Amino acid sequence: MKPLAGINVLDFSQFLSGPSAALRLADLGANVTKIENPAGGDICRSLYLSEWQIDGESALFHAINRNKKSITVDLKESTARAALRPRIEQADVVIFNYRPGVTQRLGLDYASLKALNPGLIYGEISGYGERGPWVSRPGQDLLVQALSGIGYLNGNADQPPLPLGLSVSDIFAGDYLVQGIMAGLVQRSATGGGCLVQVSLLDTLLDLQFEVLTTWLNDGQQDPVRSAVNNANAYIAAPYGIYPTADGFLALAMAPLPRLGELLGCPALTAFSDPQSAFDRRDEIKTLLLNHLRQQTSAHWLELLEKEDIWCANVLNWEQLIASEGFKALDMVQRLTLHSGKTLLTTRCPIKIDGAIFTSPVGAPPLGADNPA
């Protein structure tokens, strides 16, 4: 039995952040029902990351809504909302990521639902919290990245701010919401009462930067200085970065420069015996490495470094990753079967409990597939 078996979740959310939280709860055994607009449903059904689709809907929707049910409800109609009351009374968790004020207008805010179900765990994701001048801004991932400062950590010093190539605020906000919901469920087991769990996309990205933001807050608020050469972390000294080799790329983490110079056959590096020089002369050191590592293949350098426990790795593309034995050992891919009988490969839940891997062969539901007959 999965650990959340018997937990009933109503997922009112759309796009990525809320549905990703509901996905993780479903992966762990919760019974998750999507509440969708009859006119098209979750907008993510038509949010294409590429031209590829399956059964007329986006692959993203199928990946992020596996193992859920779907009912359609026109939440603007009072009679339709009233029909949801028995489900709300029986729910353990509800999830919303509507714009500010929408749940209040619909009578689906926390106070209203708590009156129906005092033990309800109410999960809510917003863009920028509940107050302040940014509350009404669109809670879209790229825009949140832009406001969060995270773009100034990526790319080399001469490049403009660069966003991360993933919807990081959406995905991590979903993870944080799950943490809060699980805490709420534990609290309810002790007190019998529910709670309101709130996460914002901006809070999420600020916490994601806790390491470097804490440094900035306490070191005189000096701007992070990105490397001019192969930047990987604005606060970490050379050799930290990714370097081209004769046939690919090599990642180097922290390493003592004289020892690294000996192993690589790069005498110029052995001169940097003072650890402070790895910070003060970071770009000079990285340029030396950049020119030296181009001379041999990645496999050549890895053979020299790995046996001496120097922190390094080959830089793989997805094709190379999936072909690797390390990836195969994780068993991270599962096959879903859709209602049409078509199949879809996607990742599994990354959490193991007592060694158990949690998968489900059930694909995302067609719109309204679980409407009452």
**DSSP states of 151-198 as a string?**
GGGSS-TTSPP---SS-HHHHHHHHHHHHHHHHHHHHHHHHS--EEEE
| SS3 readout for 207-251 | HHCHHHHHHHHHCCCCCCCCCCCCCCCCCCCCCCEEEECCCCEEE
Cβ-Cβ contacts under 8 Å for 189 (sequence gap 6 or more): none
- Choosing from 109, 141, 170, 283, which is the catalytic residue? 170
* CB 285, CB 278: distance < 8 Å: yes
* CB 6, CB 43: distance < 8 Å: no
Compute CA distances 247 → 25, 244, 311, 312, 325, whole Å.
43, 8, 20, 16, 21
How far is residue 188's CA from residue 308's CA, in Å, rounded to a whole number? Answer: 51
Compute CA distances 99 → 108, 125, 129, 367, whole Å.
13, 9, 10, 23
Beta strand ranges found along 43-194 (DSSP E) = 53-54, 57-58, 69-72, 93-96, 121-126
Examine the residue annotation and report whether 274 is marked as an active-site residue of this protein.
no
Active site residues per annotation: 170
